[in-house]
Amino acid sequence: MVWEFVLIVAVLFYLLVSLRILKQYESGVVFLLGRYLKTKQAGPRLVFFIFQTMDRVDLRLRTMDIPKQQVMTEDNVPITVNGVIYFKVIDPATAIIKVQDYEYAITNFAETALRDVIGSMSLDEVLAKRDKIGERIRDIVGKETKGWGLEVDHIKLQDVEVPDDLKRLMSRQAAAEREKRATVIKAEGDRMASENLAKAAQVMTKSPGAMQLRTLQTIDGLGPTASNTVVLAVPIELMELVKNIAKK
């Protein structure tokens, strides 16, 4: 009777020690005496102590930094870039068995792919096409890591740093472009103003007295300010008109 009780207690203790709880976002890769047995899903699971072992695998979307590195562009400009890779495990058994450290492996592969992609592009393309660079790197890394039981969601470039002397040159170039656009806009405005003035002159030439009315409007617009000194050239025709009115 005592031996039976001891045996029951021992069995219960063994089962308790063998109990594993897998969370909703986890899977467990189980090995029996070193050989792959099965992949267990979330919930309470028995992994028989001594004979079996289990590696937990996180199935959530993971974020890994692509280390900062210096890369030479196609037009021989040294720039420093870094990025972020978003991926998740879709086949836990493959990720554990085929790759020693899949996080380290995918980060290093993404780092190499980043260097290759940027090395085939000019500096202007790198600065203007960050999203496309990320997509190209994702395609390269995703194609290779699919056999590792991983899925790359997307890759983003974070920082692109250029040398200080090149920054100053780019700043001067941008300032010159802005000045050029401002000059073009001003010249266009002057051209339109001259065309409108020419049209106005034609109208005034065809309409007698239009110039005098315009002159009177200008005087009226000056206001009664004492500091304004106005020198007015009165046309002879207007003076003759005033004299005729006075005679009558």
Q: Tokens standing for 187? A: 């010249």
What's the confidence (pLDDT) of residue 240? 58
- Asked if residue 91 lies in contact with residue 75, where contact means CB atoms within 8 angstroms, the answer is no
> What secondary structure does DSSP assign to 30-96, as a single string?
EEETTEEEEEE-SEEEE--TTTEEEEEEE-S-EEEEEEEEEEE-TTS-EEEEEEEEEEEES-HHHHH
What type of residue sits at position 172?
R
- Asked if residue 142 lies in contact with residue 151, where contact means CB atoms within 8 angstroms, the answer is yes
- Asked if residue 113 lies in contact with residue 134, where contact means CB atoms within 8 angstroms, the answer is no
DSSP 147: G
Question: Helices marked H in 86-235 — which ranges?
Answer: 92-98, 102-119, 123-128, 130-145, 164-206, 210-222
Q: Which residues pair with 22 in a beta bridge?
A: 43
In angstroms, rounded to a whole number, what is the distance separating the alpha carbons of residues 114 and 133? 8
What's the confidence (pLDDT) of residue 172? 65
The ranges assigned to domains in the chain are: 2-57, 62-167
What's the confidence (pLDDT) of residue 5? 77
The count of residues in the chain is 248
Residue 230 has φ and ψ, to the nearest 5°, of: -115, 125
In angstroms, rounded to a whole number, what is the distance separating the alpha carbons of residues 217 and 206? 19
What's the confidence (pLDDT) of residue 22? 85
What's the confidence (pLDDT) of residue 221? 60
Full pLDDT tens readout for the chain, 248 residues = 677 777 888 778 877 887 888 888 888 989 988 888 888 888 888 888 888 888 888 888 988 888 888 888 887 888 888 889 999 988 898 888 888 888 888 888 888 888 888 888 888 788 888 888 888 888 888 888 888 888 888 888 887 877 666 656 656 666 666 667 777 777 777 778 777 767 766 666 666 555 555 665 665 565 565 565 656 555 555 555 555 655 55
What's the confidence (pLDDT) of residue 171? 64
Find the distance separating the first CA and the last CA of the chain, reported in whole Å.
150
Three-state secondary-structure class, residue 239: helix
Q: Which CATH class is domain 62-167?
A: alpha beta
Secondary structure element (H or E) that encloses residue 6, with its range: helix 2-18
In angstroms, rounded to a whole number, what is the distance separating the alpha carbons of residues 86 and 81? 17
